[in-house]
Every structure is written in structure tokens, then in C-alpha cells.
Structure 1
Amino acid sequence: MDRLADLSDRLRAVVSQRMATDPAHDLAHLDRVWVNAQAIADDRTDMPVLLAASYLHDLVNLPKDDPHRHLASRKSASEAESILAELGYDAIQIQAVGHAITAHSFSANIPPETTEARILRDADRLDALGAIGIARTFSVSGALGRALYDPADPFAERRPLDDLHFSIDHWKVKLLNLPHEMLTDTGKQIATRRAERMISFLDDFAEEIGNPLPQTWTTR
């Protein structure tokens, strides 16, 4: 077994024991982020750093409605340090993993300054798009007790967008904008394809609820 595969197995074993259960931030999410990260990476990428960041970025995961959520990535980076040391990462690698973890968070608002940090941010956000993104949206909304949509105005044509109460609103507020926020060319290409799948779903969704999808939802 090569070093990367061995590290992957050991990291998965660690996070499976330490991560809290969350419908959108579980071990399967970390596996998908690693798949996405490998799709974006090139021969200039430090793969052991990217691997560790992919599996440890949600080590501390706070609910979306937690007032301290913006601190979660910093806490994850801090808790990752001892794990990385036990796995044989040196001080420079630990610092690199820590930066990638802290900078991946949407709420932390920390600019990613390294190749691995930019890849991780894109890889994590890709998991909010496409078929998986659709499933995650409704899973999280259900856990938080949010309605699927506003039956009086499903696509917020006569009201402000409100993704704290309506799941579909979150697509317009954040998710459908993600392709334009990607930091890597490959990440943007993948994100664009996945967003197109979500638009296709929205077309069917709009037809089934008897309310045409506004053009403003399909053009950005």
C-alpha cells in the first residue's frame, strides 16, 4: 500500500470516531470532497497536505444556525494539529493543512493563499452542487425544520429571499452562485455542470407546483 492510501485509511479511521453525526457533514461528505479534490489537483499539488485537509476540514462542525459557526474551521485546524503530528506530518505540512482548513469555510471569510487551500475550498463547495447538492439541501433543511418553499411565492418574486425559512430560497441566495466563486478552472467547470443539473431539477420542480421558474433563477 502506498503512503497516500495508508494515510487515507488512517485519516478515515480518525474522523469516523471523532466527527459528530450530521446529515451533510459526515464521513461520506469527506470521501466526496477528497474525490473532488483529486479531480482538481495537478502535479504541482502537495497531495498529502490536500488529503489531510480534505478529511480534517470538518473535524469541528457547528450547526448552520449556531452563532459561533464562523469559528468552526479554526477549531478544526487546531484539533487537527495533534492528529497530523501522530501521522508523521512535519511542522511545515501541519501549517499548510491548517491554513487550508481555516480558509475553506464560507463563514470564516479567510482568503486561501495556497494551491491546496484553493483546491480544498472548491472541492468542498462542489459537494453543495449537483445531485448530491440537491439531496444535501433538503436533508439539512429537514433537520432544521425549514419548509421546502413558500407556497404563496415559491421563487421570491414578490418578497425578499429568506433561506432561513425556505429551502429553495437557499439555492438562489448561495448555491447557484457557487460556480462564479470557484478559484480553480477545473473547479469552475465541474461546478457549472452541476449547477446546470440543479436548474434542470428546478424546472421540473416548478412545473410540478404549478409556478413557472423565473428567468432570473436561470441566468447569473
Structure 2
Amino acid sequence: MNKNEILKEVQSYIRKTFLEEGTGHDYFHIERVVTNAKKIVEKESADSFLVELAAWVHDIGDYKLHGGVDKSEELIKSFLESINLDEEIISKVNEIVSQVSFSKGNKPTTIEAEIVQDADRLDAIGAVGIARCFAYGGSTGNILFNPEDNSKNASSIQHFYDKLFKLKDLMNTTTAKEIAEERHAYMKSFVQQFYNEVNFK
């Protein structure tokens, strides 16, 4: 298979596997991350094939989808071997994916990892990020808002402070930083409007 055929094969597998996923990590989230990554890579000197491939598979083994256990490396390796990719590419993709997660706190060591990390984080903020925040909170049984508790993971609103409001300043590339500004401002206005409606100061 050539590179385009490989990417189409991967996309088909991801669509089949993630289409009905209900925590905000569904196929269309992954597709948006790929779109974000392709937009960023247009302005960066990077391996576009590696970027797109890693973006497609970045959630295959995510701990949130596997009972708190990260299975990324083994599941990505198994899948990419099944479509006959060589070990060098698989190793590079796993390295990129290992540096994407917010919770792991890893700093990207390549421009490809920076781009995929940015692409994933962009989909966690703005209007889509708000929707995904509440989708994930609902899927895990988290409450909407508790004005008496601002501890970590106390509510979906608390997640804005735990993670989402931090992402703008953690973007790596100029393109992502520019996109993040508007999305961050939208989230801030949403949370303020939420507080206005629930009479919370």
C-alpha cells in the first residue's frame, strides 16, 4: 500500500471502532484532530504522513476507554502490524502518541508530536470542547456543578479549571496558539454566563 492507501485503511478501522463511542472520544473527535493536524502541518516543516497517521490512532489505547489502563503502545503496535507497516514507522507513531496526553504531562520531543498534541488539545477547547466536557462528565456520572466543592474532578464545571483553561498557554505551534485564543475566550464567556444563570459569584 502507498501512504494514501494506508491512511484510508486506518481511517476505515477508526471509523468502525469509534463511531458509537459516547465519552466525547468518538470517531468524529478523531477526525477533527486529524483535520486540525493537517491544518497545522501546512505551516510547519514536519512529516505529514507521520502526523496524520498518529492523529488517526492517538486514542486507540486511551486509558479513559480502557478502565483507567493505558493500552496505547500495545494496541497501536498490534493494529499497525496487522496492516503490514514496518517497525520503524510503528515506533515513531507510538513515540508521538505517548507525548500527546495532557494527563501524562510529557513534553513533545519532535515537531510531529507537537502538532498532534496541539491538534488534540484544540478539540478540547472552544464550543466543541464545552460539548465534549459535558459529554464526558455525563458518561462517567460526574455532576454538572457543585458550588460548594472546587476540588479536582468535583464537577464538569470544575474541569474547566482543572484542564481546559490551561490549554491555551500549553500550545506548541504558532498556528495552534492563534486558533486557541478565540476558543479560550469563548469558554471563558460560557462559564461566566453559566455562573450568571445559576447566581454564582
Taking structure 1 as the reference length, what is the TM-score of the superposition? 0.80
2:126 counterpart letter in structure 1: G
Cα pair distance change 1:13/1:195, threshold 3 Å: same
In structure 2, the partner of 1:97 is 93
In structure 2, the partner of 1:37 is 37
Percent identity over the alignment is: 32
1:18-97 matches, within 5 Å, as 18-19=17-18, 21-41=21-41, 42=43, 44-63=45-64, 66-68=67-69, 72=70, 75-87=71-83, 89-97=85-93
Cα pair distance change 1:181/1:148, threshold 3 Å: same
Inter-partner Cα distance in structure 2 for 1:144 and 1:30:
20
1:168-183 matches, within 5 Å, as 168-183=157-172
Cα pair distance change 1:3/1:92, threshold 3 Å: closer
Inter-partner Cα distance in structure 1 for 2:88 and 2:27:
26
Structure 1 residue 166, shift from structure 2 partner: 1.2
Q: Deviations over 1:4-61 (max 9, x none)?
A: 3x43321121123344823211111110101111121135221111111011111123
Whether contact under 8 Å (1:77, 1:97) holds in the other structure is no
Structure 1 residue 147, shift from structure 2 partner: 1.5
Structure 1 residue 62, shift from structure 2 partner: 2.7
Structure 1 residue 123, shift from structure 2 partner: 0.7
Q: Deviations over 1:157-205 (max 9, x none)?
A: xx6x224221111101211011111111211221121111111112221
Task: Give the SS at the match of 1:186.
Answer: helix
Q: Which of 138, 145, 148 does residue 142 from structure 1 map onto?
A: 138
Q: Which of 183, 188, 192 does residue 199 from structure 1 map onto?
A: 188
In structure 2, the partner of 1:106 is 102
1:119 counterpart letter in structure 2: I
Taking structure 2 as the reference length, what is the TM-score of the superposition? 0.87
Compare 124-133 and 161-170 and name the one that shifted more.
161-170
Give unmatched runs, 5+ long, in structure 1.
Answer: 154-158, 213-220
2:12 counterpart letter in structure 1: A
Q: Which of 112, 119, 130 does residue 115 from structure 2 map onto?
A: 119
Inter-partner Cα distance in structure 2 for 1:170 and 1:43:
31
Task: Give the SS at the match of 2:7.
Answer: helix
Cα pair distance change 1:63/1:98, threshold 3 Å: closer
Structure 1 residue 82, shift from structure 2 partner: 4.1
Inter-partner Cα distance in structure 2 for 1:198 and 1:61:
25
Cα pair distance change 1:64/1:81, threshold 3 Å: closer
Task: Give the SS at the match of 1:171.
Answer: helix
Give the length in aligned residue pairs. Answer: 198
Structure 1 residue 77, shift from structure 2 partner: 2.9
Mark the structure with the bigger radius of gyration. 1
Whether contact under 8 Å (1:99, 1:112) holds in the other structure is no
Cα pair distance change 1:181/1:43, threshold 3 Å: closer
Q: CA RMSD in A?
A: 2.3
